[in-house]
Chains A and B, each alone.
Chain A
Amino acid sequence: MNGNLVQQISFTWDPLLPDLLWVPSALVAMAILALSLRASVGLPAWKRGLLVGLRALAFALLAVILAGPSTLRTEGREVRDPYVVLIDGSRSMAVEDQEGTRSGAVARWLARHEGSFRTLAEEYDLRFFVAGDELAPLALDQAIPRDALSGSIPTNGQGTDLGAALFGLSDALGGTRPASVLLVSDGADRAALGRAFSDSGAEGVEQLSAGLKFPVSTWMVGDEDGPRDLAITNLTVPPFGFVRRPLSLQLEVTSRGLPQRTHVATLRSNGEVVATTELHFDEDGRSAVDFEVKPDEMGFHTYDVSIPTPEGDAIPANNQAEVTVKVIRDRTRILQVTSRPSWDVKFLRRLLKTDPNIDLVSFFILRNSERGGQLARMGNLSLIAFPYEELFTQDLEGFDLVIFQNFWFGSFTHYPDTEFVRNIRDYVSRGGAFLMIGGDNSFGEANYGSSPLAEVMPTQIPDAASITQPFRAVLSEAGQRHPVTRLVREGDRNLGRWEDLPLLHGWNPLGAPQEGGVVLATAGAGGPPIAAVRTAGKGRTMAFATDTTWRWAMAGTEGPGAGQDHALFWRNAIRWLIKDAEEKQVQLVLDRENYQLGDPMQVMVRVLREDYSPWANAQVVGRVALLGGGDATPIEGVTDADGQLTVLLPSTAQGTVVVEVDVPDVPAPFGHAEARASISDRQGEFLDARVRPGLLKALSEATGGKVLGGRDPDPRLAATGGGNSVLAVDRKVESLWNRWWLLVVLVLPLGAEWATRRRMGLP
């Protein structure tokens, strides 16, 4: 604390009467004056005036004495009022639109006015603050922020919140209210002040700044016409997408001050180009386009949009954006077609119909075109048209799985079905799933081995007749591990379960596995393959070369699991074919998939036992790291009684983050879970870095500050008041009512009134 000891004397009031008595006393005085007027009726006017006037004067003097005139003697130290230079430290100040960056312009201004600041420092307690993510003082050297002069004003604030900075000044000054504030900013405020100005103009700013009890002068830096910028202002996706359903990504781009009128936006997924589109801008420099994608698999999909940086673009950083979408499965859509209904068809359809998550479209050929008995020829048939042209062309993509169950195109049409078969092959290559089940209209019996479909099937399909003998399905080595053939989790028990299955009857011969094809089961140990799977292109296929698994449904035995193997096997097969995720024992859930930089990420881990009951006190370890490297943040803890562990993590860097957790108590690979999210700054500074002079002007006018114009204003113009205040150390009040001369003054009009009455002969 500096300043000399000083004494100040000021006048004040120290009332002798309680507040409640003032009004009654005034009424009494007025009543007395009224009676005096009445008693003096008949006297000449000047006499009446003199008498009543003297009495009124006496009452007035009495009132003054009762009000307690006093002196206030204050002793204290003289201090200089704070003069604050508040510099915007947000990232928009790094925009180059004014012979370099905006913060560079501030540094040059500080240097040019070093003398002015020295002068101000003599009159005021001169302080410099930078408003970044927090309000930070600039270190001073002989009243001047030397580092700032060298151009090192920090511009790392993720956002501009001028209101928060201004309201935080008093605290930053140790509780002292600044006398003057000079705000140096581009006005690109996206927080409360900016929103108030956008919504309600100057009136909104005035309302919001009403609590500021000091004048805020402003000087705007930045070019009113700039910056020249091409910016992705928005990239939005639905909260989640569905596998193989269209997913729309809406892109909004603005272009300011750039001569180039068209640009190309590229959408990538996992580094691969998914789509490109040309952007055309309207008169306001806005462009909006939709990208449509169809995610192939469940899980987290990150999409990245980028636009090449045009020449003159001041902010290249906002030409790229990414979002992450969680893709889940809608109701599974299955097309089941058969040329010849059979028990196997019936039992598979019955199974699919009982699953509430399946939309099943079945078409059965009930009457072959070549045949028809007497009754059928007589009509009255309750048949429906088989819309095969639509199903195998335009509708095909809508199904998650197509099942040919003993199905042959030739059984109902002479239409050149090559096109349809080729469509199914292409559908699989694009991510669809296809299952062929055996029968006398299937596999080699229908010449599928020489059709385009053979290209995606798991095995070769020989042109061979069906075998009709009974057999036992025996798991291959791969089949003992594969999820399709896993009726129970434990390998030994699973093998035993398969050995106990009822015999099957008859099969279609399959050839050697094709590239990527995996044989899961054979007809007897070491026999020909009867079940095989393959990932073909982006899709999956399965060949199951018999049509008597209905026997597994009619096991004829009571007890847990009896008759369930048919359902277990086909559900496994369908889930694998459509790439459905197994119900996991370790589940990892983020509160959302897209975070604004700085937002906390809520990570919830749920651990279930084998019977899917909550696993309390399970140890969880994991990490969060940016995709492609960077420091990892560890996750560690134990689950609560509900089998859950929730942690909050900071989002400190832009990009795709990968969250991984492991639960050692759960055997691999079931003890691992992974999730992804995108962290971006699209709502931050670079979304719209235009200067906002109107906002700064409104702030100055609302607080009684000044608007400093030009490129080089003198900071002394923002100084208000004398610059000094007394910081009180002692205060003393001395009453004046008990002074003798005051009593004399009071007695004089009363005495004069008495003497006048006597001379006039009045009582």
Chain B
Amino acid sequence: MTRQSQFSRRGVLQALAAATGTGTLGWSGDLLALGDRKVGVARLDLPDLPDPRPGALTDLLREVSHNSSISAEVRPALVDPGSEALFEHPFVVLSGDRGFEPLGDQALANLRLYVREGGLLFVDDATGLERSAFDDSVRRELSRLLPGTPLRRIGRDHAIYRSFFLMRGVAGRMVVQPYLEGLWLGDITPVLYSRNDLLGAVWRSSSGGYALEVVPGGERQRLQARRMAINLVLFAVTGNYKRDVVHVKTLLKRMRRQGGYGE
């Protein structure tokens, strides 16, 4: 591929997209969408837990498509955790502002298998309260999900703080809890829990503006929350890549020292 060959099929389509203004979401990711090959998110559909921030996931995925190389499916799915459809979505979100009934056995078994097979569950408490019925329900269900594996505070060295933006702390519409919690399986965290209404910070109204005020930090806090939300999706897709990549230089140096190179 010479410089001339930069005018590839991909390049031509990029140019076409830009010239025609097709899609406001970016140059190509969505134009050349390959359907199920895209990165999407599903919201867990529980009968007694309505979506407190309808459309927020779409807003988040648009942010991801705008800012990163990821080709995101901006229409989130709604999935019953008791169905096999759960396994079609490696990233699911459980958000709410009220308590909910205990999950059924099938739903719990599915979720247990789901997190072990590589899925990521993000839980977002939209109440903005230090004590909430939703929080009680979440802790109850997570203790049933992986018995003996308690929720633990996520340290600042976790990949979610650097999966795309370099973050110094958590953010959300509120700051109820200045840290994230998670369940650990080995060195991975298949469950992340935010108490700060993260999706509320990125949720837009039909007019295009943000639907909710961000307190106490205002727009500066919203900016951090938007970054945090994008990091969340990037973490769902890349896992510990950013944490491991710091070891790459060491690895390459070792490989060079051991030989096998043309230098």
- Chain A residues proximal to chain B, CB less than 8 Å: 244-246, 294, 330, 333, 339-347, 349-350, 353, 359-368, 370-376, 378, 380-384, 387, 390, 393-398, 408-411, 414, 416-418, 421, 439-441, 444-447, 450-451, 463, 465-466, 468, 470, 505-506, 547-548, 550-551, 553-558, 563
Contact = CB atoms under 8 A, between A and B. Distances in A.
Given A340-B71, A361-B248, A440-B37, A374 B66 contact: yes
A341 B27 contact: no
Contacts of B195: none
Given A342-B237, A554-B90, A375 B226 contact: yes
A410 B11 contact: yes
Contacts of A342: 37-39, 70-71, 237
Contacts of A244: 260
B70 A341 contact: yes
Contacts of A245: 258-260
B228 to A, nearest CB: 11
Contacts of B256: 395, 398
Nearest to B255: A398
A358 to B, nearest CB: 11
B117 A555 contact: yes
B131 interface: no
A416 B63 CA distance: 31
A390 B223 CA distance: 36
Contact of B86 (A398, A410, A505, A556): A556
A420 B232 CA distance: 33
Interface string B75-115: 00000000010111010000000000000000001100110
A571 to B, nearest CB: 16
20 contacts: A341-B238, A342-B39, A353-B240, A362-B244, A363-B248, A364-B238, A366-B164, A367-B69, A375-B63, A375-B230, A381-B165, A440-B32, A550-B90, A553-B118, A554-B117, A555-B87, A556-B87, A556-B113, A556-B117, A563-B117
Contacts of B110: 556
A362 B241 contact: yes
B152 interface: no
Given A346-B118, A347-B118, A398 B260 contact: yes
Contacts of A548: 36-37
A440 B71 contact: yes
Contacts of B11: 410
Given A371-B27, A465-B9, A353 B244 contact: yes
Contact of B1 (A382, A410, A550): A410
B1 A451 contact: yes
B118 A554 contact: yes
Contacts of A365: 69
A381 to B, nearest CB: 6
Interface size class of B (residues with CB under 8 A): 35 or more
A382 B67 contact: no
Given A341-B234, A341-B241, A342-B70, 4 more contacts: A366-B238, A375-B230, A398-B256, A547-B37
A372 B67 contact: yes
Given A346-B118, A371-B27, A362 B90 contact: no
Contacts of B90: 343, 346-347, 550, 554
B227 interface: yes
A434 to B, nearest CB: 16
Given A367-B69, A398-B255, A416 B3 contact: yes
Given A340-B70, A416-B2, A418-B1, A371 B239 contact: no
A366 B234 contact: yes
A445 B241 CA distance: 26
A470 B27 CA distance: 25
A636 B96 CA distance: 73
A340 B259 CA distance: 31
Contacts of A347: 90, 118
Given A346-B118, A350-B118, A375 B165 contact: yes
A222 B12 CA distance: 85
A450 B67 CA distance: 31
A706 to B, nearest CB: 59
A351 B87 CA distance: 18
A557 B227 CA distance: 35
Contacts of B127: none
A375 B166 CA distance: 12
Contacts of B239: 346, 349-350
Give the most central of B10, B69, B165, B240: most A CB within 10 Å: B69
B26 interface: yes
B19 interface: no
B41 to A, nearest CB: 11
A506 B35 contact: yes
